[in-house]
A and B are shown apart, each in its own frame.
Chain A
Amino acid sequence: MNQMSDRKIFEVPLYAYARSPDQDADTPVRHKAVVIGAGPIGLGAAIDLAQQGVEVVVLDDNDKVSFGSRAVCYAKRPLEILDRLGCGREMAEKGVKWNIGKVFFDERQVYDFNLLPEEGHEFPAFINLQQYYFEEYLVRRVREMQETGAPIEIRGLNKVLRVADKGDHVDLLVDTPDGEYPLQAEWLIACDGAASPTRSMMGLDFVGRVFEDNFLIADVVMEADFPTERWFWFDPPFNRGQSALLHKQPDGVWRIDLQLGWDIDKEEEKKPENVIPRLKAMLGEDVKFELEWVSIYTFQCRRMEKFRQGRVIFAGDAAHQVSPFGARGANSGLQDTDNLCWKLKLVMDGTAPETLLDSYDVERVHGADENIMNSTRSTDFITPKSEMSRILRDAVLDLSERYEFARPLVNSGRLSVPCTYDGSPLNTADALQGGPARSRPGSPCADAPLGEGYLLGQLGGRFTLLTIGAEAPDSLTCEGLEIDRLAVEATPEIHERYLGEAESAVYLIRPDQHVAARWPSFDAGAVEAALKRAIGKE
């Protein structure tokens, strides 16, 4: 099959422009929530809100999914979030799973590693999947929800021209093929990417560090016998002084990243007659391949000072940008909306004060800083910025070939893992003596096998009281919220991940499956106080 002659999924409009009744209204129509951007983060936010019954409209200046593969690595935590949103399983099934990585330096392989992910999790450590598939699954999920009457809508070719926070709502001006129309949102979520027009319209800063480097990304379709592994080269003969990465995606598509350096002519480098010889040097003269997509990117590590700006809330790359090493872009963006949407719902319902949204800022700025730190370190290792930095880097690589001790120092990207919200104002002090550190207040819950399924699937997306060997009421109503209890057996995994040295435990779990508080036994007063704190009432 000649895949290049088929029309690619990213060339077909998936949410074509259709005139909305809002465009003919006499006065601007106000929606509960408007999301700008139908990328992975915007769609994730909209699905999350609509699943909670919040009416939401997504505006996108395009009408198609992402052009080219773009973000290709999705980690376990985002897959768990997507499972709650109703599309994690399909993605995990379609995606390529891998555990073996190989590291090359100069002409030789210095070592290989097996990720050996911890057993007893429903989802793999991560998968490779083209962003266009990722978005297509999300759009499909939106359509499925629409069929059951969920209040969610995507408007293609709707470009936002103006945004004004009016205190109790946000005024928008939207351009379409039929001209402009005004629109209002009680809350606006800007997920419009690293170049966020919303951020610019509001005149907000986006400061950080620019990396003086260019990377060529090429997606090639090839029938090759390369195993399903991640190969990373430092200073290979086919790309002297630079790095290279080979990664497999579904459908025989391979992602190739070649570092090019700073002083290059981007337009020249992108031409197939320049790209193809580079790829042949890397893959071998005999390997048959076709170019699916080529792009050159530079990157920055930066973030907004505050992600919440009154009634406008920024998420994903619009709020923070990282280098691609470690796959922390889309992965952290989904954790943003996972953190935000339950809070927004409680605020809309009047169950929680508006100030609860400030904890989104605190917690996700913490997450962004952790991601920026990790991806900056990877970048400094991959592209040393001084002679001594390169000498040390090369010393680590030379030693890594012979000695195991040097391998943890090799940094070609650190796996994206969710951050623990240590110090969050929503946490209640740890009261479970001997409890495992990995499940301390602020931590994301670790999955574990449970009956026929898994723990996280049963926690769902609401406040839950998780009890292990402890008595508690089956449900309780507190601060206007209904909290169900999930009583589980102390299986070996639950024991290791939730009990540690403790005999019994009661966990208060937030809707985003982070731990709010934990105790050795149930105490109604303590749970009530912790819940109040977790919804920003203290």
Chain B
Amino acid sequence: MSDLNLTPNIPGADDFYAELLAAHEGLTKAESDALNARLVLVLANHIGDRGVLSAALTAAMLKEEEPA
């Protein structure tokens, strides 16, 4: 199992963020929420590693302890 990578890893981060915002443009809040949910599932499947996914969930919850 590899560790969850929490260091910068996206080349052209600004381009990515602009593309993410563009994907949401013109959507209602409900449509945007649904898009985000689908995106999470697509990315989770790509990662595939259960340990990494659990660590990512913990990281996103911003819990007091650092994720393992």
Q: Does A200 contact B (CB under 8 A)?
A: no
A405 touches which of B8, B14, B33, B66 (Cβ 8 Å): B8
Q: Are A402 and B62 in contact (CB under 8 A)?
A: yes
**B residues 11-68 with Cβ under 8 Å of A?**
13-14, 17-18, 20-21, 24-25, 27, 29, 32-33, 36, 59-60, 62, 66
Q: Does B2 contact A (CB under 8 A)?
A: no
Q: Which applies to chain A's interface (DSSP): helix, strand, loop or mixed? A: helix
Write out, one digit per residue, whether chain A residues 372-415 have a CB within 8 A of any chain B CB (1) or not (0): 00100100110000111100100010110011110111010010
A392, B25: Cα distance in complex, Å = 13
Interface residues, chain A, with chain B CB atoms under 8 Å away: 374, 377, 380-381, 386-389, 392, 396, 398-399, 402-405, 407-409, 411, 414
A403, B55: Cα distance in complex, Å = 13
Q: Are A405 and B21 in contact (CB under 8 A)?
A: no
Interface residues, chain B, with chain A CB atoms under 8 Å away: 5-10, 13-14, 17-18, 20-21, 24-25, 27, 29, 32-33, 36, 59-60, 62, 66
B18 touches which of A377, A403, A408 (Cβ 8 Å): A377
Q: Are B9 and A405 in contact (CB under 8 A)?
A: yes
Q: Are B8 and A388 in contact (CB under 8 A)?
A: no
In the complex, given contacts A402-B59, A409-B13, what are 19 additional A-B residue pairs having Cβ atoms less than 8 angstroms apart?
Answer: A377-B14, A381-B17, A386-B25, A388-B24, A388-B29, A389-B21, A392-B20, A392-B21, A399-B60, A399-B62, A402-B66, A404-B6, A404-B7, A405-B7, A405-B8, A405-B9, A409-B17, A411-B14, A414-B14
- Shortest CB-to-CB span from B67 to chain A, Å, is 9
Q: Which residues of B contact A408 (CB under 8 A)?
A: 8, 10, 13
Q: Are A403 and B13 in contact (CB under 8 A)?
A: no
Q: Which residues of B contact A407 (CB under 8 A)?
A: 8
Q: Which residues of B contact A386 (CB under 8 A)?
A: 24-25, 32
Q: Which residues of B contact A380 (CB under 8 A)?
A: 18, 21
Q: Which residues of B contact A387 (CB under 8 A)?
A: 29, 32
A389, B59: Cα distance in complex, Å = 21
A-B contact pairs, 29 of them (CB 8 A): A374-B14, A377-B17, A380-B18, A380-B21, A381-B17, A387-B29, A387-B32, A388-B24, A388-B32, A388-B33, A389-B21, A392-B20, A396-B17, A398-B62, A399-B60, A399-B62, A402-B66, A403-B6, A404-B8, A405-B5, A405-B7, A405-B9, A405-B10, A408-B8, A409-B13, A409-B17, A411-B14, A411-B17, A414-B14
